[in-house]
Amino acid sequence: MGTIRIGIAGGAGYTGGELLRILINHPQTEVCWVNSNSNAGKPISDVHADLFGDTNLKFTDSISQDIDVLFLCVGHGDAKKFLDNHEIAASIKIIDLSQDFRLNLNAKHGSRSFIYGLPELNRESIKQAHNIANPGCFATGIQIGLLPLAAAGLLNSEVHINATTGSTGAGQSLSPTSHFSWRNNNLSVYKAFEHQHLNEIGQSLTQLQNNFDQAMNFIPQRGDFTRGILAAMYTECALTLDEAYDLYENYFKDHPFTHVSKRNIDLKQVVNTNKALIHLEKHGNKLFIISIIDNLLKGASGHAVQNMNLMFGIGETVGLRLKASAF
């Protein structure tokens, strides 16, 4: 595969910035244009100061068709609008980071059909796909913790989930709950039992275990840190701890970013990387599962590049061997 030519729509936000950070250092990509109507003409480093000295690209309010893949880093609901308002050549592949095409009932736009882009679930389909719906950040972390059980037909009781995300999960637009003075030294619950990512999680679990009909009791929380997601889950399970570890290790053995740890895990192990880590414990008849990801990388932009690598037939980890901040 030669150089992959990239276009990015919505490049001024957090996911756009992280995507640029990866792609301008990726050995097989060229970023051809970055669309942002509100920042057209500005150097990218004026908005993403961490890229100062790394690129001379400027934002543009136009698009060109001379690309191989288009990344949509626009807001939820805006991906459909972007495709409605811009004619994109049929030869151009699309990776959408919004939620617009994640559910099967919404996975079409005109002649385009979108594949749900979770490699730990759909890797072979992703390799053949022309259009990808990139998973949500909470959805990625939670699914990675539950997929092995569903694949073995072992999700037969309610699942209880408590997950906390960093402030970047809310995007760059200011809101009452994203200001530093509110978020700092604070913790809050939102969308308890009703978070929109439950739909795509349930869809994936049913794909592996078609009789899955148990309640998923999901309590999302806003953390007072910048990035990362820690999901703590438990469900009744007859497996011993050793059997559970065998199940998880076998399920993920061919997935280069997902690792199962017998030691307890913490967010700094994955922040700034495309890794997902899992830790298991057994408490009575309950299996306790901890999963951690960086919400902007494995939960968004890194995941999107992983999907791009698979779609274009290059090494899955190319451009994504990133070191955790760790301390």
**Residues annotated as part of the active site:** 137
Question: Are the CB atoms for 322 and 271 separated by under 8 Å?
Answer: no
Give the alpha-carbon dihedral of 231, 237, 243, 249, to 10 degrees. -30
CA atoms within 13 A on the CB side of 293: 28
Question: Are the CB atoms for 83 and 109 separated by under 8 Å?
Answer: yes
Sign of CA dihedral 268, 227, 274, 242: positive
Q: Which helix (H) or strand (E) holds 293?
A: strand 286-293
Sign of CA dihedral 113, 118, 122, 126: positive
CA atoms within 13 A on the CB side of 126: 26
Question: Are the CB atoms for 162 and 229 separated by under 8 Å?
Answer: no
For the CA atoms of the chain, what is the radius of gyration? 19
